[in-house]
C-alpha cells in the first residue's frame, strides 16, 4: 500500500509540473529576456513549441514506434490529417547565424522551401565586422555590421522568393521560397 501511495504521489507531482509548464509557456515565449535572467535561464535561445504538424518528424517517430514494437503498422497519414494541413511549420522558427559565414536554417537544415505564415527569426551574430540581412515579399530585416549578439524578429512570410545574405566582411548568401 505504501508503494502504491508513493507512486500516486509521483504521478500527481508530474501532472502538476506539466500543468505549470503548459500554463507558463506563452509568457516564457513572449518574454525570453526575463526567462534568461532567472537562475539557469542563460541559454542561447529558448525553444519555441509549435502547434503545427511536422509530418517528417511525425513519420520518423512512427517508424521508431514500429521498430521498437509499440505499434504493429505505420499509421495512414492521409487519413490522420486533412489534405489542407501542410507539411512544415505554419508558425515556426528560423535560425540564422553570422560570423565568418552566414546561414539560415529551419529544423537544423538550410532553409529552402517554407510554408507561408508567422515565424520567429533568431539571428546569432558573433561578428563585429558582419551582419545578416533577409529581404523579399515586402520584408527587410537586418542586423547591424558592428552589432554583436542574438537578435529576434517576428516575421510574416507571404508567398514569394526571399534572399538572405551576410553584410560586411562575412560570406554567404542564398534564397528560399515561400509557397502554399
Residue-wise pLDDT tens digits, 153-168: 989 999 999 999 999 8
| Whether pLDDT at 105 is above 80 | yes
State the chain's mean pLDDT as an integer.
Answer: 80
pTM for the predicted model, two decimal places: 0.53
Report the pLDDT value the prediction gives residue 88, as an integer from 0 to 100: 46
Query: Where are any strands of DSSP class E within the chain?
Result: 91-98, 102-106, 109-110, 113-114, 117-125, 130-136, 139-142, 149-157, 160-168, 173-178
CATH number for the domain whose boundaries are 90-178: 2.60.40.420
Q: Is 15 exposed, middle or buried (0-12, 13-18, 19+ CB in 10 A)?
A: exposed
List the chain domain ranges.
1-43, 90-178
96 confidence band (pLDDT: 50, 70, 90): very high
| Whether pLDDT at 121 is above 50 | yes
Length of the chain: 180
Amino acid at each position: 500500500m505504501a508503494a502504491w501511495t508513493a507512486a500516486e504521489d509521483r504521478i500527481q507531482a508530474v501532472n502538476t509540473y506539466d500543468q505549470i509548464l503548459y500554463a507558463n509557456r506563452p509568457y516564457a515565449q513572449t518574454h525570453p529576456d526575463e526567462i534568461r535572467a532567472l537562475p539557469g535561464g542563460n541559454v542561447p535561445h529558448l525553444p519555441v513549441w509549435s502547434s503545427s504538424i511536422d509530418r517528417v518528424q511525425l513519420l520518423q517517430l512512427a517508424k521508431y514506434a514500429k521498430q521498437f514494437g509499440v505499434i504493429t503498422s505505420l499509421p495512414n497519414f492521409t487519413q490522420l490529417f486533412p489534405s489542407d494541413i501542410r507539411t512544415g511549420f505554419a508558425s515556426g522558427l528560423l535560425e540564422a547565424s553570422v560570423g565568418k559565414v552566414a546561414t539560415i536554417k529551419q529544423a537544423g537544415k538550410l532553409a529552402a522551401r517554407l510554408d507561408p505564415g508567422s515565424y520567429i527569426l533568431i539571428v546569432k551574430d558573433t561578428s563585429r565586422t558582419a551582419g545578416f540581412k533577409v529581404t523579399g515579399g515586402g520584408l527587410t530585416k537586418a542586423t547591424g555590421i558592428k552589432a554583436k549578439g542574438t537578435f529576434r524578429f517576428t516575421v510574416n512570410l507571404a508567398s514569394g522568393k526571399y534572399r538572405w545574405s551576410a553584410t560586411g566582411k562575412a560570406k554567404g548568401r542564398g534564397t528560399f521560397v515561400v509557397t502554399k
